[in-house]
Structures are given as C-alpha cells and as structure tokens.
C-alpha cells in the first residue's frame, strides 16, 4: 500500500511529474482542458486505461453520501466549477455497507471520516486504500461541475490486497 491520498491545486501538478506517467497524463488533461465547454459524460483519454467522467450535479446533505472505494482504478477528482466537501479515511477495519460491485468497481463503507474542501481548480487523488465520500454540500446545496479521471491500477503497477 504506500500511496495515500494527494490533495492540491491543479497549478501545482509539476510537483507530481515523477509520480507515474499515467497519473501525469491524467493531471495534464485536467490542467489543459476547458471544462466549461464540455458536456457531462465519459471521455476517453487513453482507452479504458485512463478516462474522465464529467459530472454536473447538486451537492447533498452528509446523510445522503457514502464512503466508497475502488479496486480497479484510482480516482482523480477535479473541481471545475463550484466547491464541495469530501469525506475521507484510510481503509482499515471499517464496516462494509455493500459487497464489492465488480462491474461498476465500487464498494461502500460506514465509518469515521475527516473532511476536506474541494474548491474550483483543486484536485484530490484517491487510491484503493483511500475511502472517499464526494458530493457533500458546504452551507447549502450548490450546483458543481466536477471531473473524475479514472486511471487503471495496472497502468501504474499498483497492487492492492
């Protein structure tokens, strides 16, 4: 395991230039793309190895959000417009809320979490050992445009038990 969540501004991606070529490609895509002109949906960056999902949605009450994790992909969450809170925790002995959904690559958990504020121009990278709870409203619901780039674990030689 070794890797843990990364949280930063997109303007600082040069700091991560040696993290992994696939992750760097994903970060460059986020920095160079004008998402104000992009519609919601999936966009290929490098086939099924790296792709983005552009989401337009309204942030929600904490009670309507769940901790999630993935086994096949890392998630890079980038806030193109708006802001939200994201809950996060390292996977340890949290209770599963669902069984792993292989087709959609997610599993939900219950447990304690910390929070970070993802503002416009910021990104967070979540590895399989990082539980995350996106979409939480700040003071009131807000419409946001968030891009999630999925990077297949096999492209970064990441092993997770």
pLDDT confidence of 161, banded at 50, 70, 90? Answer: very low
Cβ(152)–Cβ(68) under 8 Å?
no
What is the three-class DSSP state of 14? helix
pLDDT digits (tens, 9 = 90+) for 109-158: 999 999 999 999 999 999 999 999 999 999 999 999 999 999 999 877 65
Q: Which fold has domain 6-156?
A: Jelly Rolls (2.60.120)
More confident residue, 53 or 158: 53
Domain ranges of the chain: 6-156
Angle at 44 between CA 40 and CA 48, to 5 degrees: 120
Count Cβ neighbours within 10 Å for each residue of 91-107 and write b for 16 or more, e otherwise: beebeeeeeeeeeebbb
pLDDT digits (tens, 9 = 90+) for 2-28: 457 899 999 999 999 888 899 999 999
What average pLDDT does range 82-92 have in this prediction?
Answer: 95
pLDDT of residue 160: 44
**Cβ neighbours of 14 (radius 10 Å):** 9
Residue owning tokens 């519609």 = 39
DSSP 71: S
pTM equals 0.93
pLDDT confidence of 1, banded at 50, 70, 90? Answer: very low
């Amino acid at each position: 395991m070794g890797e843990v969540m990364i949280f930063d501004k997109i303007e600082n991606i040069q700091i991560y230039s040696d993290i992994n070529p696939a992750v760097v490609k994903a970060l460059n895509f986020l920095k160079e793309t004008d998402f104000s002109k992009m519609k919601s949906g999936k966009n290929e960056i490098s086939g099924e190895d790296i792709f983005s999902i552009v989401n337009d949605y309204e942030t929600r009450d904490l009670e309507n959000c769940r901790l999630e994790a993935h086994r096949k992909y890392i998630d890079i969450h980038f806030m193109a417009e708006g802001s939200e809170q994201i809950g996060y925790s390292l996977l340890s002995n949290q209770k599963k809320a669902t069984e792993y959904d292989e087709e959609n690559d997610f599993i939900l958990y219950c447990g304690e979490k910390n929070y970070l504020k993802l503002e416009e121009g910021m990104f967070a990278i979540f590895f399989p050992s990082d539980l995350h709870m996106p979409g939480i409203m700040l003071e009131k619901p807000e419409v946001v445009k968030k891009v999630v780039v999925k990077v297949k674990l096999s492209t970064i030689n990441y092993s997770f038990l």
